[in-house]
Structure 1
Amino acid sequence: MPESTEVTATTIAVGAPVATLINVFTVAPDRQRELVDLLVRATEDVMRHLPGFIAANIHTGDDGTRVVNYAQWQSEAAFRAMLDHPDAQVHMRQAAALADAFDPHLYQVESVHHS
């Protein structure tokens, strides 16, 4: 059986064939949990069902003022198509309303180090 090159889990490797979104939200500490719950719900209900979705990982800052969404898509085109999807737009507007600021960008892995 031929080996598949399709990525189906979060992959952090130089040259991985994925588009990685890192979106850093700044949020009031009393709204951090609400934002996390919204992002988890959006991922489960909408994002993971869209073509090209690979994975999403939601991180919280220990001081309560940051939430980071580290998500991967099969391509930049798949990511851009998600941005145009009406159901995704609803969740993105809700997340923007909860956050004081957000800073989404696509990234490529340049270096990985292990012990």
Structure 2
Amino acid sequence: MITFINRFTVTGPAEQFEHAFDETSAFFAAQPGFVRHRLMRHTQDPAAYVNVAEWQDEESFRTALDRPEFTAHRAALRALSTSDPNLYVPLYERSA
């Protein structure tokens, strides 16, 4: 399992960014190895968003990014935001 965390700073209209992200989300959800994700918006800074996505493995994630269909999604998000994407591996997890 890997976790992809991408911090976005929205530079365009928030509604357009959220729509573009929703379309990108549907694309990723249809890819092999995708597990789940959450898009969150900062409580004090409406331009700050974080995407936390879980994938079965890094290879599945990279394969999805390399698909030609992803190019349009990438361009749409980049036109409306800047981002800081990174991959992580889980170390500890605890639930109530």
TM-score by length of 2: 0.86
List runs of 5+ in structure 2 lacking aligned partners. Answer: none
Identity %: 29
- Pairing 1:73–2:55 present: yes
Aligned partners of 1:53, 1:32: CA distance in 2, in Å? 25
Q: Larger relative contact order (C-alpha < 8 A, sep ≥ 6)?
A: 2
Per the alignment, residue 102 of structure 1 pairs with 83
Contact between 1:24 and 1:102, CA under 8 Å: does it hold in 2?
yes
Aligned partners of 2:24 and 2:73 also within 8 Å: yes
4+ residue stretches of structure 1 with deviation over 4 A?
none
Distance in 1 between residues matched to 2:79 and 2:42, nearest whole Å = 19
Larger radius of gyration: 1
Higher strand proportion (structure 1 or 2): 2
Alignment gaps of 5+ in structure 1: 1-17
Offset from partner CA, 1:7-61 (integer Å, 9 cap, x none): xxxxxxxxxxx11100001113x622321221112212x1111111111211111
Counterparts of 1:80 and 1:56 in 2: how far apart (Å)? 16
Give the RMSD, CA atoms, in angstroms. Answer: 1.7
TM-score of the pair, normalised by structure 1: 0.73
Aligned twin of 2:7 = 24
Distance in 2 separating the partners of 1:32 and 1:109? 30
